[in-house]
Structure 1
C-alpha cells in the first residue's frame, strides 16, 4: 500500500499530535505492506524531520493577525501536495484534523472535538477554518480513526455516522518513557532544582482547557511544609489565551513553591516524569491524554480528572478528581505524598496499565484501517 502521510505538523515543536505523527509514522515503517511518502507542507520526503522548523513558534501569532493567512497557507500546501501526483498513491492519511484535497480514498484521524466542546480555546481564524472544512472532510473520508472510544462515540453522535466508519487505534508509548533510578536522572533534576520523588509535575500546553488553575489552587491549599517539600513543577509551551492564567500563575510563582519551566526537550520531560512523586493532569477535555500513559509507563502515579478519555487511559491505576474541585485534587496529592503504601500500589497498577498500549499496536490497527479503506 502506497500511503501519502501528512507530517506537516512536525514543522512545529512537538506536543501531543506531533508525537502521534512521529511515533505512528515510525511504527508504520515496520508494517511490511505499508510504504509511506511523508508530506511536510512544502515538499515530500521519506524521512521524518529531526527538529521543528526554525522560527515556527512565531508563525502562529502571525497567522492570527493576517486576514486570510490560514487560507493562503492552505492553498500553497495544496499546490505542493499535488506536485506528488505524478507518482501513484493508493491512499491518503490525514493525521491532524482536516485533509487536503485528494481524489482517492482518504483516512483521517480525529483526535478530539475541542473546537466544538471548547471553541473559546481556539484562535477565531483557525476555528472558522475548521468549521468551514471539517464537515466536508468527515463526509469524504472512507474511515475515521480516533485515539479513544470516548472520541469515537462523540464523533459518531455529532456527525451522525454509522459505527462501521470509525476505528479506534489507541496511542502508544515511546521507548524513552520507563522507570529510572534516581542517579540516572540526577543531572536533569539538579539543573531544575529538583530532587527525585520530591516534586509534583504538570505537563501540557498552557491553555484554559488544560485546567492548570485547578492544580495551582489545590497545591496552594496544601500545608506550607508540604508545599515547600513538594513543589509543583510545570512543563509546557505557551498556548492560546494563556493570559487567563497569568494572574493566578504569577501569584503561585511569587509564592516560591511553583516553577514554570516552559517547553523542554523530549528527553528532559521523560526524565522529569520518571522522577516525579506524581503527575497532576487536571485537563477538562482530552481525546486521549498521552502524558497520563507516559507517566504510568515511567512508574509515576497519576492524578487526573473524571473527564473525556482520561479514565479510559488511566483505568484502575488513576487517582481521580472532578475538574472543578480543588479540595478533591488536594486530597489526592496529599495521599500520594503521605501514604507510601498507596503510592506503591498506584505505581504498580500504572506500570501494568501501560502494558496495554503500544505504538506497534496502534500501527497495526491503522494499517488494518488502510486495508479496509482500500477494499481489502
Structure 2
C-alpha cells in the first residue's frame, strides 16, 4: 500500500502537528505493508527534511502583510503536488491537517482540533478565510477522518455532522526522549538558565490567548515571595498570534526576574528541561489532545491543568485539575505540589502509570487500520 503524506508542515519549527507527523511516520515505518511518499510543498521525496526550512519565520511575517498569501501558496503547492503525482503512483493520500490538496483518489485526513471554530480570533484573517473555504469540502471528501481524542470526534459530529463511522480516534504517544532522569544529570541544561533541577515550574506551549498563559502568570504572582525566589517560572514556546493580548502581564512578570521566557527549544533540550521541572503548568482553554501533558507525565513530572476539552482524556486521574478562571485555586494547587512531598510523589507515580496507556506504536496501528478502511470504502 503506497501512501502519499503531506509533510509540508515540517517546513516550520516542529511544534504539535510537526511532532505528530515525525513520530507517526517513524512508527508507520515498522509496518512492512506500507510504503510512504512525502510531499514537502516544493516537491516529493521518500526522506523527511532533517530540520525546519531556513527563513520560514520570515515567510510567516511576510504572509501577514500580503493579502491572499495563503491562497497563493496553496495554488502553487497544488501544482507541484499534481506534477509529482504524474510520476508517483499512490493508493491513498493522508493529509495531517485541516486543508487537504485536491487528489483524484481516496483521501484520509487528521483533524487535531477545532480551534478555528472556537477561537477564530487567534488565527490571522487570511489563514482563517482559507480554512473556511477548504475545511467543509475536505471533511466531505475524506473517506476516514482521524482525531487525536474522542472529544474532537464528538465535536466533529456536533459541529459538522460527520457520521460516527467515518471517524477514528488515534490517541497520540510520546517520544522516547521523554522519560524520568536523575536530577544530577540535568545541570547542563539548567545551569545556563540560572535554575536548579527540581526547583522551577514550567509552562510549555505557543504564546497565544488560547493557551491561557495569563492565568499561569496571575497564579504565580499570588505565590509568596519566598516561594517565587526558590521556584522560578520558565516559559518555553514560540510567540503566537495575538500575544499582545497579555503582553503587559508578561512584561511585568519578566521584569520581576522570577519569570523567564525561553522561546522555542529544540527537542532534546525541551525533554531535559521538562524532566527537571517540579511540575508542568498547563492552563490551556482548549486542546484537541495536549501533547506536553503526556510528555510531562512520561517524564515523571506532575501536571497541573484545566479540566477543559480533551485534557482529561490525556491526564486521567493523574492530573491535578483547577478551573481555568481561578488563579487563587491555581496558586493553592501549586503550593500543595511544592510543599506536600507525598502528594507530589503520588501525582508523579500516577502520571507515569497513566502515560503507559499511550504510544506512537498504538497510534500508528490505528492509523494503518484507517488506511485500509479508506481503501475498502
TM value normalised by structure 2: 0.99
1:17-36: CA deviation from partner (whole Å, max 9, x where unpaired): 11001111111111121110
Work out the number of aligned pairs and report it: 376
Instruction: Report the secondary structure of 1:173's partner residue.
Output: coil
Aligned to 2:349: 348
The reply on whether 1:226 has 2:224 as its aligned counterpart is no
The reply on whether 1:36 has 2:62 as its aligned counterpart is no
CA distance in 2, matches of 1:183, 1:226: 22
Aligned to 1:48: 48
Instruction: Report the secondary structure of 1:295's partner residue.
Output: helix
Aligned to 1:143: 144
1:176 Cα deviation after fit: 0.5
1:259-314: CA deviation from partner (whole Å, max 9, x where unpaired): 11111111110001100000001000000000000000000000110100001100
Instruction: Report the secondary structure of 2:64's partner residue.
Output: helix
Aligned to 1:111: 112
1:183 Cα deviation after fit: 2.0
| Counterparts of residues 306-325 of structure 1 (less than 5 Å) | 306-325=307-326
1:69 Cα deviation after fit: 1.0
CA distance in 1, matches of 2:97, 2:353: 30
CA distance in 1, matches of 2:135, 2:240: 22
1:97 Cα deviation after fit: 1.2
Instruction: Report the secondary structure of 1:37's partner residue.
Output: strand
Aligned to 1:235: 236
Aligned to 2:282: 281
CA distance in 1, matches of 2:28, 2:84: 20
Instruction: Report the secondary structure of 1:357's partner residue.
Output: coil
CA distance in 1, matches of 2:63, 2:136: 23
Aligned to 1:71: 71
CA distance in 2, matches of 1:210, 1:346: 23
Q: Structure 1 stretch 338-347 or stretch 190-199: which is displaced more?
A: 190-199
Aligned to 2:334: 333
1:96 Cα deviation after fit: 1.4
Aligned to 2:179: 178
1:104-159: CA deviation from partner (whole Å, max 9, x where unpaired): 11000000000000111100110011001100000000000000000000011111
Aligned to 1:169: 170
1:245 Cα deviation after fit: 1.7
1:256 Cα deviation after fit: 1.6
CA distance in 1, matches of 2:330, 2:57: 33
1:318 Cα deviation after fit: 0.1
Aligned to 1:369: 370
1:67 Cα deviation after fit: 1.2
CA distance in 1, matches of 2:81, 2:60: 21
Q: Structure 1 stretch 335-344 or stretch 26-35: which is displaced more?
A: 26-35
Aligned to 2:94: 93
CA distance in 2, matches of 1:101, 1:291: 33
| Counterparts of residues 195-234 of structure 1 (less than 5 Å) | 195-234=196-235
Gapped regions of structure 2 (runs ≥ 5): none
1:57 Cα deviation after fit: 1.1
Instruction: Report the secondary structure of 1:3's partner residue.
Output: strand
Aligned to 1:267: 268
The reply on whether 1:23 has 2:37 as its aligned counterpart is no
Aligned to 2:132: 131
Gapped regions of structure 1 (runs ≥ 5): none
Moved over 2 A (4+): none
